[in-house]
Structure 1
Amino acid sequence: MTKIGYARVSTRDQNLARQLEQLKSAGVTKIFQEKISGKDADRPQLQKMLNYLRDDDEVIVVSLDRLGRNSKDLTDIIEKIRRRGATLNVLNLPSFAGIKDPNLRNLITNIIVELYKYIAQEERETIRERQRQGIEIAK
């Protein structure tokens, strides 16, 4: 089993150092990193990471929003990770490492990930609506 990290920031001006440090602290031995918007469907390092995965590998990210920008995108990426036989560990989500049964651990992790995906999507839509309202008021 290899611990594989993925780190992403949205612009060239942003710094990956914080994410890289957290991934290294989590025991990651292989890191894929890029400076590219999550809106960009063609993220070369993400694709390389997905192709690199093997059975029993663990993909580690600092937060879900580093993988994708919306629920559909996240669902697609998480499904690709699962199809490769790997698991996903999101550092800012609750950890269930103490649960010995891997099936139960994966089930609980999946439920939490789905909940966070929903919350993130709702938050993004709320932000968009507030922006739209602000623009209307400014006009």
Structure 2
Amino acid sequence: MSLMERINEDLKQAMKNKDKLRLSVIRMIRSAIKYAEIEKKTTALSDEQIIDVLSREMKQRRESLQEFENAGRQDLVDNVKAEIEVIQEYLPKQLTEEELKVLIQEIIDQVGAKTKADMGKVMGVLMPKVKGRADGKLVNQLVQQHLS
């Protein structure tokens, strides 16, 4: 079953269960995917392209979560956390910080990086491998720690 088929099935199930939050998040996901299809002038996105869209949506939610926490808006924080949980169901299993550190060290050794000036080389090889499976900010921080 493709990712889009799974999303559509979950949409139907959320309607049957009258799960308003889940239904609204899945509709938002479908809308974002449809927008990406229009942008790319295609009728259907691949699973990898859908994961890119979901990763972008997840990043937006995390940024919003930070802003809402800073503003002390607990009602919005709870809502965004619930949205993040639904979106995560469609993303590949996230890498732990330890798994990331091991992968980063392997790539640093592979490209022969020594200083922060080599960060671009490391990120260029690393990001395609962790796409959709790790937060870019965290990856960036860990690479900087390894290269300092």
Same fold (TM over 0.5): no
Instruction: Look at both structures and tell me which one has the larger radius of gyration over its CA atoms.
Output: 2
Q: Which of the pair is proportionally richer in helix?
A: 2
Q: What TM-score, normalized by structure 2, do the two folds share? A: 0.29
- In terms of fraction of residues, the more strand-rich structure is 1
TM-score where L is the length of structure 1:
0.30
